[in-house]
Every structure is written in structure tokens, then in C-alpha cells.
Structure 1
């Protein structure tokens, strides 16, 4: 699989570190079922996903990669502005 870093251009996926699904954090800091779900439960969808990747062996930028897990097609790679590692 090849990813197109918006800073460095097209690169092999081995240059990148996979962080996981790009999910919005629950509101507030108080522990509850929403935080438990956010931290511990993940779907394993067949189809289009949005994931966090870091160009670890390149510019270091964090990206949100939209890809199809069935066809392994990368649909887009965007800089993750304000994303947390």
C-alpha cells in the first residue's frame, strides 16, 4: 500500500506508523460509559475507514487516511490539524 503524504508526496506504507481509527473524543473529562467505549471498543468494518497515521520515517506529520479495507484503495490523505497522538 502506498500513501500520499501532503508534505512529502507518495511513499510506501512502511514509512508510516498506524495509530488507529480517527475518532472524536467524548466531551468532558469525567469518566463514564462514553470514555470507556472510546478507549476500549473498536469496530472492525469492511469498507471505508478513517485512520490516523504518522509519517514517522519522513516529515513526522500526522495524517487522516481514508481508505477501503476491502480493496486496499487509499481514497485520500489529509493533514490532521490539531489531532492528538
Structure 2
């Protein structure tokens, strides 16, 4: 015979923690004077569209790819140095 799945025992604590987090974060949103309606204003929507349109088509010229390669190698060098220092400290 089929049985129903048991209730989640952590549902109530998760709900209470979520409500508590909202209550604690709400004053920060109020004090920051966040106004999301400004984002969908006509001029701002056009500006965001122009900004996003600048990403297409993606740049693939030689100068940009060389810059990208140098940045990738620099990132790998910094990561290697960080791992080496971490191993020395540990």
C-alpha cells in the first residue's frame, strides 16, 4: 500500500529563519532608498538596452584576444603563487 511522504521536520525552522532574515534586512532596504521602479522607466530601459546591445556581437579581434590571454595567464600566476604561499604556511 502506498504511504504519503512524511512532513519535512525542518520546514518550520526554515520558515522562521526566512521571516527573521526579511525582518532584519527590511530596514536596510528602506534606509538605502532603493527604488526599483526607476529601472523600468522609459529612458533607463533604453539605456540598459543600449548597454546590453554593446555585448553583441562579442569582440574577437586579435588585440582583444591577446589581452584576454595575458589576463588569463596573470590569473593563473596569481593563483599558483597563492597556492604556494598557502602550502608554505600550512
Normalised-by-shorter TM-score class:
under 0.3
- Give the number of the structure whose residues are more often helix, by fraction: 2
- Give the number of the structure whose residues are more often strand, by fraction: 1
> TM-score, with normalisation over the residues of structure 2?
0.20
The structure whose Rg is larger is 2
